[in-house]
Chains A and B, each alone.
Chain A
Amino acid sequence: NAGVMQNPRHLVRRRGQEARLRCSPMKGHSHVYWYRQLPEEGLKFMVYLQKENIIDESGMPKERFSAEFPKEGPSILRIQQVVRGDSAAYFCASSPTEPGQGFAYTFGSGTRLTVV
């Protein structure tokens, strides 16, 4: 039973390019969450998605960032016109249902984005 799969593991982009980060949830999981870990910081919640729906995007920057979780295929976190400040590790997590109080979900290994 494969865990949460993220790819690529490492991504280098020049300023102004687009970055696409993919997350395939665990089998049977229909809820996906994206987090960002800036250097020397803890993870920060970005967005919560279910299939074809964005449930909560309160942690996602309003400009340049978007996320989707289509009916078929992985969830995608898209960053347009990347800047150096976007350099971070981006983690995806998944759960089979909406986690109730105390539920803890499964994280992927992350994508480390470097903007040069």
Chain B
Amino acid sequence: GNSVTQMEGPVTLSEEAFLTINCTYTATGYPSLFWYVQYPGEGLQLLLKATKADDKGSNKGFEATYRKETTSFHLEKGSVQVSDSAVYFCARTNSGYALNFGKGTSLLVTP
């Protein structure tokens, strides 16, 4: 199927720590890959995306590289802030309109 698997949380980090949230996808077709962020009580916001192998998506200090050889799209940030506390969702699409999401990874950054 067209599934996405991401690491379970919650992830708790101290401010300025390095963040990695793992995401792997099933190698079906040529998907586009996304990371969405959901702040408490809000809807999902697109964080970054990549549409083909070796593309790197980046935004607000977050990065993820589309790795076809490992079917991965891990999210990284070099120095997290308290304001980054949220739930992060990895997602893919083949069809162009139906996104398949992972279960989400909750991140808590403490001062």
Contacts and interface: CB of A to CB of B under 8 A. Distances in A.
B96 A103 contact: yes
B25 interface: no
Contacts of A102: 32, 49, 51, 96
Interface residues of B, number: 25
What size tier do the contact residues of chain A reach?
Answer: 20 to 34
Interface string B68-111: 00000000000000000000010101001111111110000000
A116 B100 CA distance: 29
Interface string A86-116: 0000010001001111111101111000000
B89 A101 contact: no
Given A33-B97, A56-B97, 11 more contacts: A42-B100, A43-B99, A91-B44, A100-B96, A101-B30, A101-B51, A102-B32, A102-B49, A104-B46, A105-B97, A109-B43
8 contacts: A42-B4, A42-B91, A43-B101, A56-B97, A56-B98, A98-B97, A100-B96, A101-B51
